[in-house]
Amino acid sequence: MSKTAQFEILGSQKIIDWLNFEKVSLAFTTYQSNRLFFIGVKSDGSLGVTMRTFDRPMGLYATSSDSLTLATRYQIWQLENMVEKDQLFKGRDKMYVPRRSWLIGQLDAHDIAIARWGSDNQQIIFVNTLFNCLATLSDRYSFVPLWKPPFISKLVPEDRCHLNGLAIVDGQPSYVTACSQSDVVDGWREQRRNGGCIIHVPSKEIIATGLSMPHSPRFYQNKLWLLNSGKGEFGYIEQKTGKFQPIAFFDGYLRGLTFWQDYAIVGLSKLREQTFSGLALEEKLTQKGVEAFCGLQVINWKTGNIVHWLRVEGIITELYDVAVLPRVRYPGCIGLQESEELRRVATRDLSVEI
215-251 per-position pLDDT tens digit: 999 999 999 999 999 999 999 999 999 999 999 999 9
Model pLDDT, residue 337: 67
Dihedral Cα 253, 258, 260, 261, nearest 10 deg: 80
Backbone φ, ψ for residue 306 (5° rounding)? -80, 120
Q: How far is CA 311 from CA 68, 100, 176, 204, in A?
A: 24, 32, 28, 38
Please name the helix (run of DSSP H) or strand (run of DSSP E) that holds residue 243, with its range, or none: none
- Cα 276 from chain centroid (whole Å): 19
Model pLDDT, residue 345: 62
The model's pTM: 0.94
**CATH hierarchy code of domain 2-344:** 2.120.10.30
Alpha carbon distance 218, 257 (integer Å):
7
Alpha carbon distance 189, 161 (integer Å):
8
What pLDDT tens digit does each residue of the chain (354 aa) get? 555 658 899 999 999 999 999 999 999 999 999 999 999 999 999 999 999 999 999 999 999 999 999 999 999 999 999 999 999 999 999 999 999 999 999 999 999 999 999 888 999 999 999 999 999 999 999 999 999 999 999 999 999 999 999 999 999 999 999 999 999 999 999 999 999 999 999 999 999 999 999 999 999 999 999 999 999 999 999 999 999 999 999 999 999 999 999 999 999 999 876 667 789 999 999 999 999 999 999 999 999 999 999 999 999 999 999 999 999 999 999 987 665 565 566 566 667 777
Q: Does residue 262 contact residue 256 with C-beta atoms inside 8 Å?
A: no
Model pLDDT, residue 2: 59
Q: Does residue 265 contact residue 225 with C-beta atoms inside 8 Å?
A: no
Residue count (the chain): 354
Do the strands 94-103 and 109-115 form a parallel or antiparallel pair, or are they unpaired?
unpaired
Domain boundaries, the chain: 2-344
Alpha carbon distance 206, 220 (integer Å):
20
Alpha carbon distance 162, 178 (integer Å):
5
H-type alpha helices, 289-346: 339-344
Q: Does residue 102 contact residue 78 with C-beta atoms inside 8 Å?
A: no
Name which of 85, 78, 130 is nearest 107 in CA terms.
130
Q: Does residue 79 contact residue 332 with C-beta atoms inside 8 Å?
A: no
Q: Does residue 345 contact residue 81 with C-beta atoms inside 8 Å?
A: no
Alpha carbon distance 117, 125 (integer Å):
8
Order of all β-strands in the sheet with 223-228:
214-220, 223-228, 233-237, 244-249
